[in-house]
Amino acid sequence: MTGDDDPQPGLDPGGGPDAGGDPPAEPGPSQSLDRPARQAAPPVLPTPGPGPSSARSARFRRRESDDDSPMMDKLQGYFGLSKTPFGRGLAPGMLHRHAAHSEAIARIAWCVAERALGVVTGEVGVGKTAATRAAIFGLDPARHIVIYLGNPDVGVRGIHTAIVTALGGVPKNQKATLIPQASDMLATEQAERGRTPVLVIDEAHMLAHDQLESVRMLTNFDMDSSSPFATT
């Protein structure tokens, strides 16, 4: 005897074999004592079919895997383009002629016809230079000669030097002789050769006051009765 309340080793409180219960069934050939209970399989969801965008991406991936050409060539070939779109070197005929663009071209053409001073203003990237290029493209090269100054940060002497060089002359060394040389060559080009010089100054917001005055003084011709060139 012991002083504990535990049952004797031969007795099973849960109804084991010593308590008169049925003995457990022996495992069959397809059963295993260590095998976990089988769980229900997850539901199978329908797979959506490929849409137009996924089909296009699959075709592009097949082309990419079969072709080792550069990526931009692949894009041009995929969309059927002959050149890279939206470049800066587009021909004037390829530009979108919206109302503001057409108005700017018309005003520049008027300045050239009247041999006047014109200024094209606008936010960065709106197409000021593109409109000027389109207007110049429409001029008759037999009656006009374009003098383009892309960087005005050259001072007063740089403007006169660019004019003389574009008209086929050799710039003088002294400012006192360079200014009359530029003025005379502009007048000669218009009076003797029948071609109107068109001075195009890009990024004109960088011009200093003395540069603006030098351009204005070049238009003072024949006692301020006419101008031998146009400026925009």
**How far is the C-alpha of 190 from the C-alpha of 175, rounded, in Å?**
23
Q: Which residues pair with 146 in a beta bridge?
A: 198
What pLDDT is stored for residue 91 in this prediction? Answer: 77
Structure tokens at 100: 């503001």
Percent of the chain at pLDDT above 90?
49
Q: What is the chain's percent helix, strand, coil content, to nearest 5?
A: 40, 5, 50
- Backbone conformation region of residue 203, classed left if phi is above 0, alpha if psi is from -120 to 50, else beta: left
Provide the β-strand partners of residue 226: 221
Q: Cα–Cα distance between 15 and 21 in angstroms, integer? A: 5
Cα–Cα nearest to 232, from 189, 193, 187, 202: 202
pLDDT at 1 over 60: no
Q: Which amino acid is at 165?
A: T
Flag whether pLDDT at 95 surpasses 50.
Answer: yes
Task: Say what the alpha-carbon torsion angle 88, 90, 93, 94 is, to the nearest 10 degrees.
Answer: -90
Q: Bigger pLDDT: 77 or 227?
A: 227
At 107-154, the pLDDT tens digits run: 999 999 999 999 999 998 888 998 999 999 999 999 999 999 999 999
**Right CATH number for 95-231 from 1.20.1530.20, 3.40.50.300, 3.40.630.20, 1.20.120.790?**
3.40.50.300
Average pLDDT over the chain, rounded to whole?
79
Helix (H) or strand (E) holding 230, with range, is: strand 230-231
Q: Domains of the chain: which residue ranges?
A: 95-231
What pTM was computed for the model? 0.64
Residues contacting residue 92 through CB under 8 Å, at least 6 positions apart: 133, 134, 137, 138
Q: Residue 18 has which token pair? A: 């010593």
For the CA atoms of 221, 226, 229, 232, the dihedral, rounded to the nearest 10 degrees, stands at: 110
The pLDDT score that the predictor gives to residue 176 is 93
Say which range, 90-99, 107-116, 182-191, 210-219, has the weakest mean pLDDT. 90-99
Rounded Cα gap, residues 164 and 218, in angstroms: 13
Q: Which two tokens stand for residue 184?
A: 């005379």
DSSP label at residue 224: T
| Distance in angstroms between the alpha carbons of the first and the last residue of the chain | 122
Residue 232 Cα to chain centre, angstroms: 26
- pLDDT tens digits for 13-47? 444 444 445 555 555 544 444 555 566 666 655 55
Predicted pLDDT of residue 171: 96
